């Protein structure tokens, strides 16, 4: 059995972090297809908020970080500020755009699609926007998937529904075939909505486009319900996911107090990152134990989860436990690693394991306990976005269009230090975020739950 609770970390897998990496590993320069020389149509509309490439947002804003920088006499690391430019690269009357959505579902994807179409049409007068069906496989002729024409009528009400109107898929597709398809369709701008794996494909697509000396922009919008994309303060759909998870936790609490020694157990999404579990725990503050992939726990022993749960039931008569899907994997994963079509390791079902383990433990000690298990995973990711996420999606989509029309490529639009910025894709894929166990965020979880360490021996 593996010695820690995390999935196996392979040698070529970036270490998962929550902090910003070193300055030397973060590229901030954004690639462009050429000098923008076309006057933006927004000028005729007296648009008041133009920005330039000289407008920058610092990567680090803490006092200690800035003190070190100024002591060295160097310039602080910074990202380009997102927004419309007065000069653009593409002639809006002569281009065609395409949008593709990849990976798992997430609240707000349709909102981003709608925002992109509206910004292209109303802001720049771009008339042709294609929707690629079922992720990157939609580019491959062998699948025979039809292209969707994303007109204003088509996207009119899609924000009212969860999922993605374009559908999605996982798995690798040949990069040269994808670029061939872009050329055949006469696409000038490709918008990619996806996560870490999709961004890695986006880097390769942009590289192949550059190798062929084509003038096609690749602009990405970060999407993951787990909120684990590097150099993004928060991904869209996360607030909605936390809100839905909180509802499930509230139901689990109701079930727990409705029975003697009731245990409400809720499993939420989060393969490597426990952000949803931790944030929902903080939001509701009715959780007694929050189990996430970043924080290992023991089952047995005086300080293990089972004893802690027993003490909680004897003291209060009920308990609520929230667990991320990637937590405690050392108890259920054998030596055979199962992967999804994208190569991601598929976790074992920690929720079912804990449910059965709790029943066995309390039966063994002769103590009556009632376990109520709730797994809202697909409900959480499939609902429409809430108002906060809708506003966020609108801003991401609009700023992605502004960047693309200026000829910027191989980049993503990110929310960073309360500003929308341009981040090179090569920087975004260097690491993945995870909950920092030394942060105020995790401290708040511990204070809310009152849980102590669930390890029998502390690591020095």
Instruction: Please list the active-site residues.
Output: 226
Task: Tell me the helix, strand and coil percentages in the chain, rounded to 5.
Answer: 40, 15, 45
Q: Which among 307, 312, 319, 298 is positioned nearest to 361, based on CA atoms?
A: 307
* Burial class (CB within 10 angstroms; exposed 0-12, middle 13-18, buried 19+) of 394: buried
Strand partners, 419: 416
Q: Dihedral, CA atoms, 439, 441, 447, 448, nearest 10 degrees?
A: -160
Strands (E), 304-384: 318-324, 370-374
* Cα 214 from Cα 181, distance rounded (Å): 13
The three-class DSSP label of residue 200 is helix
Structure tokens, 52: 């330039």
Q: In the 8-state DSSP scheme, what is residue 123?
A: I
Q: Return the half-sphere exposure (C-beta side, CA atoms, 13 A cut-off) of residue 184.
A: 10
* Cα 170 from Cα 159, distance rounded (Å): 23
The three-class DSSP label of residue 124 is helix
User: Residue length, the chain?
Assistant: 460
Residues 6+ apart with CB under 8 A from 209: 179, 182, 216, 218, 409
């Amino acid at each position: 059995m593996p010695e820690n609770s995390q999935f196996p970390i392979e040698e070529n897998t970036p270490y998962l972090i929550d902090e910003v990496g070193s300055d030397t590993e973060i590229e901030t320069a954004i690639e462009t297809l050429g000098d923008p020389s076309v006057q933006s149509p927004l000028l005729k509309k007296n648009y008041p908020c133009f920005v330039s490439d000289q407008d920058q947002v610092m990567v680090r804003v803490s006092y200690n970080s800035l003190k070190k920088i100024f002591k060295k006499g160097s310039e602080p690391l910074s990202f380009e500020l997102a927004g419309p430019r007065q000069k653009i690269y593409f002639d809006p009357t002569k281009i065609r755009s395409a949008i593709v959505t990849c990976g798992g579902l997430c609240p707000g994807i349709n909102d981003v699609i709608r925002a992109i179409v509206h910004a292209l049409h109303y802001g720049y007068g771009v008339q042709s926007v294609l929707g690629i069906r079922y992720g990157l496989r939609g580019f491959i002729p062998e699948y025979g998937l039809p292209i969707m024409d994303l007109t204003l009528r088509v996207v009119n009400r899609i924000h009212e529904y969860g999922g993605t109107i374009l559908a999605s898929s996982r798995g690798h597709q040949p990069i040269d075939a994808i670029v061939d398809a872009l050329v055949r369709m006469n696409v000038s701008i490709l918008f990619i909505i996806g996560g870490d794996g999709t961004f890695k494909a986006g880097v390769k697509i942009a590289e192949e486009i550059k190798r062929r000396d084509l003038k096609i922009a690749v602009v990405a919008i970060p999407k993951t319900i787990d909120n684990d994309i590097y150099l993004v303060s928060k991904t869209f759909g996360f607030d909605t996911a936390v809100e839905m998870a909180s509802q499930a936790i509230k139901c689990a609490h109701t079930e727990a107090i409705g029975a003697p020694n009731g245990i409400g157990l809720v499993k939420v999404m989060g393969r490597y990152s426990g952000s949803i579990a931790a944030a929902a725990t903080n939001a509701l503050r009715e959780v007694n134990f929050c189990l996430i992939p970043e924080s290992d726990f023991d089952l047995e022993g005086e300080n293990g989860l089972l004893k802690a749960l027993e003490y909680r039931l004897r003291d209060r008569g009920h308990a609520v436990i929230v667990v991320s899907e990637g937590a405690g994997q050392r108890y259920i994963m054998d030596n055979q690693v199962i992967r999804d079509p994208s190569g991601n390791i598929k976790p074992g079902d920690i929720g079912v394991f804990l449910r059965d383990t709790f029943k066995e433990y309390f039966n063994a000690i002769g103590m009556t306990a009632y376990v109520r298990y709730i797994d809202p995973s697909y409900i959480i990711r499939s609902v429409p976005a809430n108002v906060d996420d809708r506003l966020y999606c609108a801003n991401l989509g609009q700023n992605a269009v502004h960047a693309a029309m200026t000829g910027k490529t191989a980049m993503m639009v990110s929310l960073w230090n309360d500003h929308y910025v341009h981040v090179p894709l090569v920087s975004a894929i260097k690491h993945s975020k995870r909950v920092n166990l030394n942060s105020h965020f995790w401290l708040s979880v511990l204070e809310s739950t009152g849980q102590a360490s669930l390890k029998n021996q502390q690591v020095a």
